Amino acid sequence: MSVLADRERLGLALDALLENAVRHTGTDDVIQLSVIRGWPGMPVRIIVADSGSGIPADQLHLIFDRFRTGDEDQSRGTGLGLPLVRAVARAHGGDVTVRSEPGRGSEFELTLPEHVSDRTALPAGAIERAESAPAPETADDPAAAAGRGQGQQGSARR
């Protein structure tokens, strides 16, 4: 199994996920890193799961926003790690999702296409474009489908 990716940026994203897991776990908690590939052509899934503190449901929709650091009464970092993970995933044609339950831990899943492009490095500015890109279009979104090809600016997803 292999993916064509920018090794440095993907490494930064994985480091951010692992550092986050370490920051939110105690000495008796478990952190698990898994790489899963289903059938050929299916996305590769990189999962970082922990049995740590978890994320409150009302905070889940905010964790990929820049400068969000969790509870205001605790210093938990710069608030740039998870937005970086999302930007790297999207720049590679993938995404990142989270499942979490307070007191039971979190699971972050980074998905990457098995084959991204013929190049191993991202074009200059791809991360910045991916951070500001709108949410991916879906086939169930008639407005998005109708707007395709009508002079709209494209996102970093290719």
Res 48 pLDDT > 80: yes
pLDDT digits (tens, 9 = 90+) for 115-153: 634 445 555 666 666 666 555 444 444 444 444 343 333
Q: How far apart (Å, rounded) are the C-alpha atoms in residues 96 and 83?
A: 10
Task: Specify the pLDDT at position 65.
Answer: 81
**Residue 63's pLDDT band (cuts 50, 70, 90):** confident
- In this structure, is the dihedral angle defined by the CA atoms of residues 86, 89, 90 and 96, taken in order, positive or negative? negative
Mean pLDDT within 98-119: 83
Q: What is the mean pLDDT of residues 98-123?
A: 78
What pLDDT is attached to residue 157?
A: 35
| Percent of the chain whose pLDDT exceeds 90 | 42
